[in-house]
Structure formats: structure tokens, C-alpha cells
Structure 1
Amino acid sequence: MKKQSFKLAVVALLGVITLAGCSGGKSVATMKGGKITEDELYTELKKAPESSQLLTGMIVNKITDAAYGDKVDQKEVDKEFEKVQDQNGGKKPFEDLLKQNNLDVKTYKENIKSNLAFKEMLKAHLKITDADLKETWATYHPSVDAQIMVFDKKEDAEKALKDVNDGKDFTTVAKEVSKDEVSKKDGGKVTFDSTMATKPEGVLLPEQVKQEAYKLEDGKVSGIVESQNMQTGTDSFYIVKMVKNEKKGNDYKKYEKELKKITEETKMADPAFSQEVLGKELEKANVKIEDDQFKKILDPYLPKKEEKSDKKDDKKSDKKDDKKSDKKEETTESTK
């Protein structure tokens, strides 16, 4: 199969080479007997399925940068860049990674700016109502302080829980045996609410673990809570100690700021909302596709226009129907 694939690739390449000299544009490659021009390369690249997606992305970047780029602070771009850089081993390793992907620092920062401009575009279309806040409130729980231990095996969790119940310090046990490397060094301390955000960052807490934690009074320890690991798909076993549990009560107004932030983030992460906003912005920007091959690439994003029926035609149709019914009635009377 590998040899066959290689032969097909060579044949395809030879097919491209034979086109050399047929089109204009700057040369991309030269060889004995011909050359490959930018026009030829563009023609071949257009055939790739990814070309439509690439062009759509370029169009979106252009309209968001033009309309919302000035709302993006360069400090925010630099901050986001440094964050990604740190996550990838620091300055030198990250620059090497960029080179491997035919990118540089400047280009990557431009991509970050485009992404932030896209977020600004979504924000410009956000309208949060009291109904939205109340919907978020239904599943919201305020931030709580707790301690956790995580295990791969139930028997290890059972032993740790027995040690804690027998009087051993939860912090000490967590440091010694918990499998959660992010939280164990601080005795399993975590802060979390009903969103995905936690302190420290990187601690993964399944919903069922959170729900069990919310039931605990300050100082109380849960039983073993079994859950599927969100990263590996394997079973994990949690023990939670509540440090400070804030009850949410009945007044959502007290948490209006937090609820608004969560609601905004939820809406902005909704693909349907993003598509709706993008459709409006594409229409506003009056995007016109000049290349026939790509004429319809934006159709999935543009608002569906309802076909307006011609009122005059409707009236004519109604009159014709009335005449037909009258004739039927006359025919029926005559037969009687």
C-alpha cells in the first residue's frame, strides 16, 4: 500500500509539473524542463478540502480586525502570548515550536489579536436579561473552600478515609497519598464554584464531586465519591473535606455580578450564538466572493432569508379559487 501511495503521489506531482509554463505569476519552484508558478500553486491548493475553511477564516479575521481590532489592548495580547509561551516551556522552546509550524512571534501575536477581536465582536451582540440570570442561578453555587484527595484505586481511597476518620490530619494524608499532583503539595486545598474555574488552576473536579461537597458542613469529610476521570476515562475516587461552605440562599441579586459573567461566558461559548453574530457581521461587512469556486462558502453562516410571497399573486389566486368554487356550486344545483 505504501508503494502504491507513493506512485500515485509521483503521478500527481508529474501532472502538476506538466502544467508549468501555462500560467503566469512569480515562480515558486524551477526545475529542468519547466517551473511552478504562484498561479499554478493557487489553482492546486484550491482543490484541497481545507481551502474553503482557510478562506472563511481569513474573511472572518479581516472583518473582525477591521471592526473590533481597535478594542483589543496590546497588553492583553502580550499577556496571552506569555501565558501560552510559559505553557510550552518558555521563550526558546516556544519559538522553536512556532518555527516548526511555519510561524513566528509576530504572526502568532496577530492570531491572538484576531481571536480577542472575535470575542469583542461577540460581546458587542450580548444582551443579558433577568430571565438569563435566573436560568444561570438555578444551577449556580457560590465559591467554596475545600480540600480534596484523589485516587486511582478504591482500596487506596478507603485506607486514606479510614486514616482521616481515625484522627489523622487530612492535610498530612493528602500530601502523602493523593494522586492529584496540582493540589496535594498544599494539602489538597482547592477553591471552586459551579463553573469550570478552580484555584489552583488545573484541578479537575467532576460535577458529582462538587454536588457532594456542597452538602457538607464546615469541617466535615465526605465518603468516597466515585467518578470517571475527565482526562483518561478511567474511574477516580475522591474524598472531600469542606473548609468553608457558603450557602447561596434565595436572593440571586446578591450574586448578580458573578451570574452575569457566567451567563456571558456561556453564551459566548455557544456555537449557535457565534454563528448568529457572525452572520450579522458578514452581512454588515458586505462580503462578496469573487472566485466562483468559493461562492457559497459563507452560506451556512448567513441568516436565512424568508421568501416573500407576492400579495398581488395571492389575491389573484384567491379570486381564481372563488370562481372555481362558484362554478362547482352551479354545477351541483343544475344536476339536482
Structure 2
Amino acid sequence: MKKKIVLATAGLLSVIVLGACSSGSNDEIATMKGGKLTVEDFYNEAKKEQTNQSLVRNMIIYDVFENAYGDKVTDKQVDSEYKKQEKQLGDSFESQLQAAGYTKKSYKDYLKQSLAFQEGLKSHVKLTDDDLKSAWDSFHPEVTARVILASSEEEAKDLKKQLDEGGDFAKLAKEKSQDSTTKEDGGKIKFDSQSTEVPAEVKEAAFKLKNDQTSDVISAMDSSSYQTNYYLVKMEKNTPKGNDMKKFDKEVKQIAQDMKLADQTFTSKVIGEELKKANVKIKDDSFENILADFLNTTEESTNQSSDKESEASTEKSTEASTEQSTEASQASTEESE
């Protein structure tokens, strides 16, 4: 269950081309009978490509967030994230950096921008009681278990039969598990509801187990290969969360924040607000619509807020008018009497 990370492509060729051509360069790329191809010609075509449109959009957003929140990101955080990526990718780290067009320095620059972007999003998070309740409902404390990743469904069923007949789970994990990160320790692993190294299907089944209980065969889709994997889990220590959310206040708030940051509507709204705050203006008509999705989201949110305020104002006005009408009617009745 080793986590796989694919480094984002830097798009260095596009950056170089777009940067070099921004001043209208007439440097020749190629000549031919009756004509020539200049860097500017290439630029005018390249900027129409969707990939480059997205690249420019992302560059603008990252620059805006780095300018606003970059001072909240320390070198220590960047180095820590760099080492984390290096550890997760192992021996392939350097080659993946090169394949993605990064140097050590440029990748650290990218990480700083990414962290600044996260800091900017977090600064807009305002957790409500409903947010915390949703987080609490999905939360499960850390458990200690043993896991076997079988080579096939048939093998998983055979292993399950052996376990039901008294087989030793740890011994079978060492002999048969395809999970290289846990098999040497007899499949032993710790995880909670937010752990990413364990498939959701495995976590869901595991949390239902009592101590020393073994699951049935669990099928789970591998998101990277789109193949179905088959697991067996034995629970060693399952700690119920109980009913007191305050005991896990820190964990629940972190989950609620993560859920908010994963909400595309929320992130789009924040990006739009930051773009407006930075007074971003698109000068090249070829890119005039690259930020429309974010800016429109902000406008819709503002309009919805205005509509609610207008509705509230109308309700108050109606209530006041009704009260005045009632009072006038009562006064008229009293005079008549």
C-alpha cells in the first residue's frame, strides 16, 4: 500500500515559449521557400492551445496566492514537504523530477507556491456546527490491524479458508501478502478514517470488526491501475469513538477543514475572491476567459448574498406593513364603536 505520487508536469517548454514571445519576438524558428516560421508565429498558435491556457491560468493563480500568503510558508515547511515527497517516491524521485522538467530548486519553488495556495485556502475556512457534525460522522480513531493483499480472488478465498481453520494470520501475511510495506511485519498496520494508504473499502470493513475478528474477502479498486485487489483484515485493537466529540476535537476539526478544502465550490469561490482582491487584469484577448469560472463563481455568490438580504428586507417590510395595517384597522374599529 505504498503511496504513489505523480509529479506535476512543469510545462517548461510552454513557459519558455510564452515568456520569450511576450515581447513580440521575430526570431526565426525555420525558413522555407516562400516563407518562414518565427517565434512570434509559434506563440500566436501556442497560446490558443487548451494546455497553455490552463498553464497561464495556474501561473496567475499561484502567483496571486504566493504574493498574498508566501510569507506564511517557511523554508522549513518547504524542506519538510520536499523530503516527504522524496521518501514516498524512493529511488525514482530524481528521475521523476527530471522527467517532469524540474530541478531541485525549481521543484522547491513549486512546493512553496503550492503551500502558499493551501495557506490561502485555509485562511478562508470558517467551520460551522454542521461541518463539525459531518466530520464527526465520518471519523474513526486509529486502529491496529493486520492486512493481507492476495494475488487473486481465488487465493484470497483460499487464505480465508485456512484462517477459518485456525491458520496464523501473521505467518500467512509474511508468506503470501503482496503488500511489500507490511508483509515483513506480518501485515501489521495502523490507520484511522483519514489514512490514505489503506483503500476505503478496507477501512470500512475493518472498522466493523471486533478485536481478534477476521474479515471476509474484501474487494477494492486500485485507483492507479483500475484493477480489483483482494484483501483480508484481522483486527487487533479497534477503539470505538464513543459519543464525546470533544475527546477528538483536534482530529475532527482537521477532518472538517480537509472536507472544506476538498469542496470544489468552496475553493473556486476563494480563488475568485483572491483574484479580485489582487485586481488581476487580463491584457491579452487570447486569454480573456481563462479566469471566468472563478470570477463568475464569486459574482454568483455575491448575488445570492444580495438576494438573501433583499428577501430579508422585503420580509421585514411586509411584516411592518402588515402590523401597521392591523393597527390602523383596530383603531378604526375602536373609533366606530
Report the equivalent of 1:293.
286
Matches of 2:228 and 2:42, distance apart in 1: 51
Deviations 1:148-191 (A, max 9, x none): 22324344233323333333322112111223232211111111
Deviations 1:240-288 (A, max 9, x none): 2111110111111111110111111111122111101001001111111
Deviations 1:81-121 (A, max 9, x none): 2333344454xx65554444443222222111111110000
Matches of 1:77 and 1:274, distance apart in 2: 22
- Structure 1 residue 32 displacement after superposition: 7.5
Report the equivalent of 1:44.
45
Deviations 1:2-35 (A, max 9, x none): xxxxxxxxxxxxxxxxxxxxx9536264657886
Q: Partner letter of residue 66 of structure 1?
A: N
For the Cα contact (< 8 Å) 1:27–1:35, is it kept in 2? Answer: no
- More deviation, 98-107/246-255: 98-107
Counterpart of 1:66 in 2: which secondary structure? helix
Q: Which has the larger radius of gyration?
A: 1
Matches of 2:143 and 2:95, distance apart in 1: 41
- Residues 44, 187 of structure 1: alpha-carbon distance in 2 compared, 3 angstrom cutoff: same
Report the equivalent of 2:62.
61
Matches of 1:165 and 1:195, distance apart in 2: 30
For the Cα contact (< 8 Å) 2:222–2:229, is it kept in 1? Answer: no
Structure 1: which 5+ runs fail to align? Answer: 1-22, 310-336
Report the equivalent of 2:27.
27
Matches of 1:233 and 1:94, distance apart in 2: 23
Q: Are positions 1:72 and 2:73 aligned together?
A: yes
- Residues 168, 281 of structure 1: alpha-carbon distance in 2 compared, 3 angstrom cutoff: same
Report the equivalent of 1:121.
120
Q: Partner letter of residue 185 of structure 1?
A: E
- Residues 94, 63 of structure 1: alpha-carbon distance in 2 compared, 3 angstrom cutoff: same
Q: TM-score, normalised by structure 1?
A: 0.73
Matches of 1:210 and 1:27, distance apart in 2: 59
Report the equivalent of 2:148.
149
Q: TM-score, normalised by structure 2?
A: 0.73
- Residues 226, 41 of structure 1: alpha-carbon distance in 2 compared, 3 angstrom cutoff: same
Report the equivalent of 2:200.
206
1:129-278 maps to which residues of 2 (within 5 A)?
Answer: 129-197=128-196, 202=197, 204-207=198-201, 209-222=202-215, 224-231=216-223, 232-278=225-271
Matches of 2:135 and 2:47, distance apart in 1: 45
- Residues 154, 40 of structure 1: alpha-carbon distance in 2 compared, 3 angstrom cutoff: closer
Matches of 2:227 and 2:60, distance apart in 1: 42
Counterpart of 1:304 in 2: which secondary structure? helix
- Structure 1 residue 137 displacement after superposition: 1.1
Name the count of aligned residue pairs.
278
Q: Partner letter of residue 222 of structure 2?
A: M
For the Cα contact (< 8 Å) 2:124–2:270, is it kept in 1? Answer: yes
Identity %: 41
Report the equivalent of 2:273.
280
- Residues 101, 194 of structure 1: alpha-carbon distance in 2 compared, 3 angstrom cutoff: closer
Structure 2: which 5+ runs fail to align? Answer: 1-22, 308-337
- More deviation, 293-302/68-77: 293-302
